[in-house]
Each structure stands twice: as structure tokens, then as C-alpha cells.
Amino acid sequence: MAQQTETRITKMFDRLKAEGRGGLGTFITAGDPDYDTGLEILMGLANAGADMIEFGIPFSDPMADGPAIQASSLRALKKGMTLAKTLNMVREFRKQDDVTPIILMGYYNPIYIYGIDIFLADAKEAGIDGYIVVDLPPEEENELCKPAIAAGMNFIYLTAPTTDDERLPRVVENASGFIYFVSITGITGTKSATSADIAPHLERIRKHTNLPIAVGFGIKTPKNAADTVKVGDAAVVGSALVKVITDNLDENDNPMPGIAPKVHKLVSELAAGVRSVNKRIGA
Amino acid sequence: MTKHNTYRAGADEDGHFGIYGGRYVAETLMPLILAVETEWNKAKSDPDFWKEFHYYMKHYVGRPSPLYFAERLTEKFGGAKVYFKRDELNHTGAHKINNTIGQILMAKRMGKTRIIAETGAGQHGVATATVCALFGLPCIVYMGATDVERQSPNVFRMNLLGAEVRPVTSGTGTLKDAMNEALRDWVSNVDDTFYIIGTVAGPHPYPTMVRDFQSVIGDEVREQMQEAEGRLPDTLVACLGGGSNAMGLFHPFLDNETVEIIGVEAGGKGIDTDEHCASLTLGKPGVLHGNRTYLLQTDGGQILDGHSISAGLDYPGIGPEHSWLKDRGRVNYVSVTDNEALDAFQLCTKAEGIIPALEPSHALAHVAKIAGSYPRDHLLVLNMCGRGDKDIFAVAKHLGIDMGDTDQG
């Protein structure tokens, strides 16, 4: 197993354990629906109850994402969002919050084109704690995983229901921070799995690693989130938050007033769901 | 990976051609990709697999396709002896069927019962729908909404063959988005589905697998040229979208260093404009659709749409092995414009009585530029990889001819 660098991510999971509860991860696409509104949404996530923030790098071809996140990516790009501006937003966030972990999530090409060494330096300085890069499986670990760990950040691997026992050791070998379990075989925001579906997979994964496990894809409601943290260490919600943005745009994709508070309201509800589950040993 | 004395040893065991290729896919797909690779490693050394492949090549596709001496064009160009490799005479009218036969045999070996594919112009979609009809498997073809409109005869052909064509409106609604959507389908249907990729791109092992199926083209040319002229050809020319017909012609000759090899990309309205599809000429290396390769992209790494009069060349990437061959300098990659291709289309039709697809019309346009500079005994082979019936409406439109109600083509 990879050397476990201490980051805001590992500290957060330690805190959750001490508090005896599961965590809430929230995904939004950087710069959706535009830079200013996106920043307002980002700034309020932790106060609304998000334990960690997955911050999506907009990409023209998000092939593991469903319609909601695809559209959010294209909206952000249309408004001129870039990876450099994404890091700027994180710098803004860090001025007020040095505790909540931020994980950049997305596809490899924008990072590759930015240049790995300079990107890792800029991201670290901006306050990024880890990476989830959908199209970098362990087979391509030399690209970003190993350099990111060497630079003192976490590289989080996805595991899926299709990741069988034979393959799991390979996937967790260099994983750090936590394991992200993709709870369905599908794209984001479509199907949903029940905690009964998820539990056997998590049990399987835990035989191969001591890392905490966050569960994502298809978690939409406070009840889904609560069910998820009964078996997982954290629940990640993305498409449902993005949908709040989508539902509050005018015909030109410009944000209608009050969009950020609406996103934050759903985050609070999800957080309440997550916090309703007591995970203290023996509870 | 590649020994210094060969260009034909790639990809390495991780699917790389130098820095290109690889397996850049979501974890959900990784086990499937690895399963395809394991099965492919077995199939490619199984004589029975190839026996069955060649059975269909001969009796269903109609191979070998002729190597035809284009005498009238040779006279016109006044230089090299121009031969056409007549892959437009294959069943379904293009080289695409070589690959779809191979991959459906793979799907059968793996016990998969549902087939998906992406298509641009519709040629690969038709070739996939055809083999699905032949083997009685359900077929879903993802096609950019823009292309569905532009290529309605091919949509109808696919429907007749029993395939479901799903128009893709996500992203920019073009071939790259159709490929994204096919990958999304595959992620969602991992148990029963085989993805028949139409070109020498995608995650390992697709680039090598598709190449090995399409290499039937070059293998035949080698034999046929030996028969016709008693020696190897001197120059090979083929067009490139994703690059499968070109790779099929080129690969068997890569280690014959006397053979000059030229790949022709779609220059669209000109490579000094924004509307072209010259990934190798003007793109830069990036990661898309499971592999690293030259891509048309912005400074920020966002993928751009290609433009070409030929929908079959309209892909912003290129097979990774071509990227490697470009960097190694083994293949010379050039581009020709829409207008040059249109001229070549008409020239070939009138001079040889062969209506070429717009894709090989690009290759022919380059041949028209260079043939005159070679001596009379110089043997040049052009891969006539598709027939032009599908393109007559697009050509009419560009020539300003009103085809009435059928102008959609």
C-alpha cells in the first residue's frame, strides 16, 4: 500500500471516526453556471454541511458522466472556465476555510495539457488535497498518481462493481486518502443502488484495504445518503446538486436569483440525512 | 517495446506505441477491456479463429478485392503507375466490414449477446448492423444527431438491417460524442455487451486488434503486386479519419524501408483555417477515448470538432499507432482540402468509371499532386477504401446542383 500522506482528507476521515458518523461529499462542476455563481456555491458548501468537496474540472468529453454533469461541464466551458480558473476558485475558498478537503475530479486531458509538474505545484499551492481522475486507472499510474503522491497529495481510485477480487489488490495498491466506490455499473446520475446492493462490495473491498470508502453515483436524496453511510464511510452527491443549478437557469443558461442558497439548502438536507446515522461502534 | 529493427512489434503489453495508446478508461470498463485483451491474445494465435475470419472474408465480403491498374489516370498524371486497391467493392461498399467481421467473431467467442457501435458517416454503422444481422445479434448504433440528418440513407440501411440508431445530441452531436455515448452505454451494460469500435483507436487492445483485421488489405496488396509487377510497390497512399484503412494497407509494409508511405488527412477548408480535421498535422498529443494520440484541442485541453466534407474523416483524433509512426518519421502525413477532394472525386468518376467515396478522394487528390513527379516504372498503390454512392448528394450540394426533395441524401 502507498505511503499515506497526511492531508485534509485523511484528517477529515479521522474526525468523522471520532465523531462516530459518516461524511458527506459534494460534487459540483467548477464555474457552473458561471464563475461568480459557481464561487458563491463553492464558498457555502462546507457551512451547509459538506465534509469534503469534489470539484469538477470542466471537460468537453466527460464520458463517464450522465446528462446532468455533461451539461454542467459544457455550460462552464461556454462561460470560459479553465483549469487555471478552477484553481483560482480554490484559492478564494482557502482564504476562508483551511480545513475542508477539496478533491479535483475530472478527466485527464486538461491536466495533461496543463503540464503535470507545474499543475501539481499550482494545485498544491492553491489548496488541493487529492485527485479523482476518471480515465486514469492503475494501469496508467505513472501519469499522475505517483507524481501526486510524491507531491504530498492523495490520489483516489475508483472501484466499481466490476472490479473483482482478482483486480482489487491492483487498484488499492497505490490508492491513498480513500477509496471511491462507484455503486452502479453506469454513468453518473442515472441508476441508484441500495445499501443492500452496496454492502457486499464494501465488505469485499475492505478485505484488501484499510482506507475509508466513499460511495458515489446515483445518490440523490437525504434518505439515499443516510442509507449509504450506514455501510460506507461517506456518501458523495453530484448530479442531484447539479440538477438544482440546471433547474434554476433562464433560457440563456444564466442563473436566476437565489441559486446558491437553493444548492446549499439541499446540501443541508443531505448533511442532516448523513448525520442521522450513528456509526459509533456498538451504537 | 519496439525493437530497433522493426516498426511492426507494437503495441507493448500495456498497449503503448511509444508514448501513445494505453488504456485511459473508467474503472468500470477496465475489467472488460482486460477481458477483451485476454480473449484477443488467445484468438490471434488460434488458427481456427483466422480460418473462420478468412471464410467470411472470401464468401461474404468478397475478398480478395482486386488490385486494379488505373491506366487512364496514370496517363493523365503522366508519372507513377497508379494502382487502386479496390476495397470499395467489398460487401457494404467499404473496408469497414473487414473489422466488423473480426470483432463480431470476438463477441461470439466471449459469449456477448448485444452489440454497440459508434458511427460518423454511417459506413461503420452499416457494416456493424450487417454483421449483427448475419449473426442474429441485437445492434445499437450511436450516431451524432447532425450526422443522422446528413446521412439519412445510411440510417435507413441500418434500420433495414435491424439495428437501432440512437441519435446523439450530447456535446456537439458529432462522431466524438457518438463514441462518448457508446462508451457510456458500455459502462451501463457491462455484462452482455460488446463494443465494436470502428477504427484503430480506443483503449488497448482495440488499436492493434482492428489493425490486425484490416491488415488483410496490405497482405493482399503485397501478394497481388508481386503477381502483377514481380516486386513490392514503391509508394502507398491512403486517407485517414481514425486511420483504419490506412493502417490496414500500411502495416504489412512498415519494415520494407524502400516503400514510401503517405497518409492523407482531411484539410477541410484549409489548414490555415479553423475548419479542418488534420489531427496529425495540426493537433497535439492528448488523451481521449481511452488512448493518448494527436488530438485537435484548445490550449486548455478541450477537444475541438473536426471539419471535413467527408463525414468519415470527421474525427478530432487519430489511431495512436499513426501518432507513433509520425513521430518516428516512418509515414509522411499530409492533408488535402475539401475542394481538392471534390475535384479528385469527379476526376476519378469520369476517367475510370469508379465513383469513389469522398474519403479516398482525399487520397487520390494527393496522388494527383505527386504522381507526375515519379518515373514511369514507379509503382503507387492508393487504397480505394469506399465507394461514393453515399456521397452523391453531398457532392451535388457542393456543385450547386438541386437534387429536389432528396437533397438530404
Would residue A280 count as lying in a domain?
A: no
- B288 pLDDT higher than 70: yes
**What is the C-alpha end-to-end distance of chain B, expressed in Å?**
47
Domains of chain B, each with CATH number or no CATH: 24-57+96-210 (3.40.50.1100), 63-93+215-406 (3.40.50.1100)
Of A65, A122, A129, A227, which is the active-site residue?
A65
Q: Give residue B408's pLDDT band: very low, low, confident or very high (50, 70, 90).
A: very low
Write the pLDDT tens digit of every residue in B122-156.
999 999 999 999 999 999 999 999 889 878 889 99
Would residue A185 count as lying in a domain?
A: yes
Write the pLDDT tens digit of every residue in B65-77.
999 999 999 999 9
Which domain covers residue A258, as residue numbers? 8-273
Which chain A residues have a beta carbon less than 8 Å from that of B302?
59-60, 77, 110
Q: How far apart are CA A255 and CA A263, in angstroms?
A: 12
pLDDT, greater one: A264 or B399: A264
Average pLDDT value over all residues in chain A: 95
> At residue A192, what is the residue type?
S
Q: Grid coordinates representing B172?
A: 456537439
CATH of the domain at A67: 3.20.20.70
Would residue A281 count as lying in a domain?
A: no
The predicted structure's pLDDT at residue A282: 63
Would residue A156 count as lying in a domain?
A: yes
Helix (H) or strand (E) holding B41: helix B30-44
Asked if A105 and A132 touch (Cβ cutoff 8 Å), the reply is yes
Please count the residue pairs, one from chain A and one from chain B, whose beta carbons lie less than 8 angstroms apart.
Answer: 119
Phi-psi region of B70 (alpha: psi -120 to 50; beta: other; left: phi over 0): beta
User: Counting beta carbons within 10 angstroms of the beta carbon of residue B360, is it exposed (0 to 12), middle (13 to 18) or buried (19 or more)?
Assistant: buried
- A176 pLDDT higher than 90: yes
Task: Name the DSSP letter for residue A218.
Answer: S
Write the pLDDT tens digit of every residue in B101-119.
999 999 999 999 999 999 9
Would residue A2 count as lying in a domain?
A: no
Could you give the number of structural domains in chain A?
A: 1
Q: Give residue B404's pLDDT band: very low, low, confident or very high (50, 70, 90).
A: low
* Residue B155: half-sphere exposure toward Cβ, Cα within 13 Å: 17
Write the pLDDT tens digit of every residue in A56-77.
999 999 999 999 999 999 999 9
Would residue A282 count as lying in a domain?
A: no
Active site residue A139: no
Would residue A3 count as lying in a domain?
A: no
Which chain A residues have a beta carbon less than 8 Å from that of B284?
113
Percentage of residues in chain B with pLDDT exceeding 90? 87
DSSP B189-213: -TTTEEE---SS-SSTTHHHHHHHH
Write the pLDDT tens digit of every residue in A122-168.
999 999 999 999 999 999 999 999 999 999 999 999 999 999 999 99
Would residue A278 count as lying in a domain?
A: no
- Do A112 and B287 count as a contact with CB atoms less than 8 A apart? yes
Q: How large is the ipTM?
A: 0.95
Active site residue A54: yes
Q: Give residue A12's pLDDT band: very low, low, confident or very high (50, 70, 90).
A: very high
Q: Which of B79, B88, B81, B94 is nearest to B381 (CA)?
A: B81
Handedness of CA A200, A205, A208, A214 (dihedral sign): negative
Substitution target from A75, A85, A122, A135 for chain B, most B beta carbons within 10 A: A135
